[in-house]
Amino acid sequence: MSKPEVTAIIPVYNDHSSLEIAIPRSIETLAKITSEFEIIVAEDGSTDGSTEFVRDYEKCDPRVRLLHRDERQGRGKALNRAIREANGSIVCYFDVDLATDMQHMDDLIRAIRNGYDISTGSRLLPDSDIVRTGGREIASRSYNFLVRAVLGSVVFDHQCGFKAFNKERILPVLPTIRSNHWFWDTEILVRGQCMGFRVKEFPVHWRAGKGTTVRMKDVFEMGTAILRLWWQINVSKD
């Protein structure tokens, strides 16, 4: 197999049933964009058979590759590892529940081909088409407003799990990332902008996955994470 142009990463934790849909759909979508691609399943200590499912899949399709951890270390660490081990010059990732419509994959990849360092889907632009509860909508807009106000980001939606990177450009950013879980998406966008990266944000069709709720604990953690990153960038220079 020749070196792929695109590496697509799917972060996974106990997502066996979603993988059964996500892997073939990803192959079908990517094949329409490029003939040279690979899919890395960044599996983070699953116990529901996800590991075995992907191992069986990669035996019959060499474009699919498993990165397994015996113990869960966090989504952020799983993504960092997968990006480092990716063979593609363009690296993208998306959530295993395919909440963002895969029709946007072409937009995601094309932005990097056209010279952007990072591209990201957005649920908060005027042309975005999203369905989720009012509570999650309020929390998301409040969170992203704070990121823009406190951290100076020009991006409107930092947490959409649908992003792509120029691998060569993004590799130096990875050692600076401190978040191991959900805040990773925001941190890599903010730190990339601090390094002068060009970011392409575009509207997407998005539907909320099952079982996702917003708790007061989550809201508190969001604010704390934003302030911590501000301190690291502006005071400790970390």
Residues 52, 66: Cα–Cα separation, whole Å: 10
- Phi and psi angles of residue 158, each rounded to the nearest 5 degrees, phi first: -90, -20
Q: Which of 15, 95, 97, 185 is catalytic?
A: 185
- Annotated active-site residue 185? The verdict is yes
Catalytically annotated residues: 185
